[in-house]
Amino acid sequence: MKNLILPLVIVFGATFSSGCSMMPSKVKEVWNKNLNVGGIIERYPQSFNPVHAGTLHSKTDELWYRRNFSGNQTRLLWGLFTLTDY
């Protein structure tokens, strides 16, 4: 029984300590899809959509210096606030 516990502990520790390197592409897939959390947070990656007239609009180049724009649009509170990266 003691001979079986040590290899199981080693395999268990190696499996769960290297979780990020097992599926590195999953993070990119999540952030490249549209996200809508009940209208509270809406995220549209690479959309370059026009901004609606009834929103408080801010651009990322107003907040910090940017060179490479991604085209992302993030809306908060059903479109009350909009942050664009274009």
Q: What's the pLDDT tens digit per position in 10-60?
A: 777 766 665 555 555 555 555 678 888 888 888 888 888 888 888 888 888
| Spans of all domains in the chain | 31-86
* pLDDT at residue 70, as a whole number: 80
| Cβ(39)–Cβ(72) below 8 Å | no
Could you tell me the two tokens for 25? Answer: 């592409």
Q: What is the largest CA-CA distance in the chain?
A: 70
Terminal-residue alpha carbon distance, the chain = 62
**Residue 75 φ then ψ, to 5°:** -115, 140
